[in-house]
Amino acid sequence: MSKKFETKAIRDQLERSQYLEHSSPLYLTSSFVFEDDEDMRAAFAEEKDRNIYSRFTNPNTSEFISKVCAMEGAAAGVAYATGMGAVFGTFAALLKSGDHIVSARSVFGSTHSLFTKFLPQWNITTSYFDVSQPETAAAAIQPNTKIIYAETPTNPGVDLIDLEALGALAKKHQLILVIDNCFATPYLQQPIKYGADLVIHSATKLMDGQGRVLGGVTVGNKDLIRTLYLFARNTGSAMSPFNAWVLSKSLETLAVRVEKHCENALQLATALEQHPKINWVKYPFLSSHPQYNIAKKQMLKGGNIISFELVGGLQKGKQFLNAIRMCSLSSNLGDTRTIVTHPASTTHSKLEPEDRLAVGITDGLIRLSVGLEHVDDIKEDLFNALEAL
């Protein structure tokens, strides 16, 4: 019997030890022991499925990876210390000097720095396509292109990219399609269904969901994952067993948490859309979202991120942050606590206004990571802050 998402997230767990524990224990150990010389030889020759050293594998990281694979419909995976560890580990393992990436223009800031500052040091270059014009992705493909990369929904613009179209494009040109699925989580969207070869997550976000630990994971095609695994094993970006243990427990409640995040977010997005001090609200499951049809096609619900534009631009954005009383001013997202950010005066303040606009960040743009507090309390805080403007 093929089990449902929630059941897999809970029941896919480590084999019980001799203590017959109900919940998986924490294996906080850097290495593992062997019976004898032959046992050790066979383990190193990979003739036996054995843990050797926790930089390579650890029962807790294996449990976490196996849960994510079950959720994403992936054959194999690698866990990393952070989401950026996963992003870097994926590109660095697959690319060599002279290779080229085609990426959506709107990507997470550190991923953008990787493309513009660090990968060029190894002669790996990137061309960008416009999220609102995915047909420009085809035009950006060169003879040396190896990877197509995108995040959907995007950060912080909450734009969507048609995964089916990207999947078809990657297949046509025999390119590796890598999708950062961090904003949607595997509960809402499974890119492998549309042809993604690899799916990346910052587990720091909704996977943990409680703002406690950092983590990253890449799952997907078995052969590609083998290359990623060997790179990770030799370069030292392993997830800590403790974080893997925390994250495995978190995944058991991912479905119920994300359901509630989405319910709160849709109610707030609908209410904010009516407010006279807001120009527009972008949330995938609002029918006013320009790509509502794509959202309905590839996402189960709209997620927990809303973006909206305040009337009055930069100054009002700063005033709005100062008028917030309960929600947090923090750079994280996907937490139980609602988080408000104003990208133009904070995360993206170093960009020229026209560069900000190119990735959809207007001066009055606010990004809301909707938490799990009672929706009435979140609404009261946001609406009081709007009244103060």
Contact positions vs ligand PLP (CB under 6 A): 82-84, 87, 108, 151, 155, 180, 182, 202, 204, 214, 216
Q: Compare residues 270 and 347 and give the one whose CB is closer to ligand PLP.
A: 347
Place of tokens 């690319």: 95
Q: Compare residues 84 and 294 and give the one whose CB is closer to ligand PLP.
A: 84
Q: Compare residues 70 and 217 and give the one whose CB is closer to ligand PLP.
A: 217
Q: Compare residues 303 and 364 and give the one whose CB is closer to ligand PLP.
A: 303
Q: Compare residues 114 and 224 and give the one whose CB is closer to ligand PLP.
A: 114
Q: Return d(Cα 56, Cα 242) in angstroms, integer.
A: 15
CB of 182 to ligand PLP, least distance (A): 4
CB of 243 to ligand PLP, least distance (A): 11
Q: Compare residues 52 and 84 and give the one whose CB is closer to ligand PLP.
A: 84
* Cis, bond preceding 290 (omega within 30 deg of 0): no
Report in angstroms the alpha-carbon separations of 141 from 128, 196, 200, 330: 10, 17, 22, 37
Cβ–Cβ under 8 Å, residues 310 and 278:
yes
Dihedral pair phi/psi, residue 129, rounded to 5°:
-120, 155
Name the DSSP letter for residue 105.
S
Q: Compare residues 68 and 87 and give the one whose CB is closer to ligand PLP.
A: 87
List the strands of the sheet with 278-282, edge to edge. 278-282, 305-310, 365-369, 339-341
Nearby residues of 198 by Cβ (< 8 Å), 6 or more positions away:
90, 176, 177, 178, 179, 218, 219, 220, 221, 224, 225, 228
Q: State the residue number with the nearest CB to ligand PLP.
A: 83
CB of 341 to ligand PLP, least distance (A): 11
Q: Around 299, how many Cα atoms within 13 Å sit in the side-chain half-sphere?
A: 28
Q: Compare residues 163 and 375 and give the one whose CB is closer to ligand PLP.
A: 163
Q: Compare residues 74 and 339 and give the one whose CB is closer to ligand PLP.
A: 339
Residue (of 353, 360, 348) closest to 290 by Cα position: 360
Give the burial class of 111: count Cβ atoms within 10 A of its Cβ; 0-12 exposed, 13-18 middle, 19 or more buried.
buried
Question: What secondary structure does DSSP assign to 186-243, as a single string?
Answer: HHH--GGGGT-SEEEEETTTTTT-SS----EEEEE-HHHHHHHHHHHHHHT-BPPHHH
Tokens (6 digits) for 78: 């690698």
Residue (of 192, 185, 198) closest to 226 by Cα position: 198
Q: Please, where are the H alpha helices in 313-371? A: 313-323, 353-358
CB of 72 to ligand PLP, least distance (A): 15
Nearby residues of 262 by Cβ (< 8 Å), 6 or more positions away:
188, 285, 301, 302, 303, 304
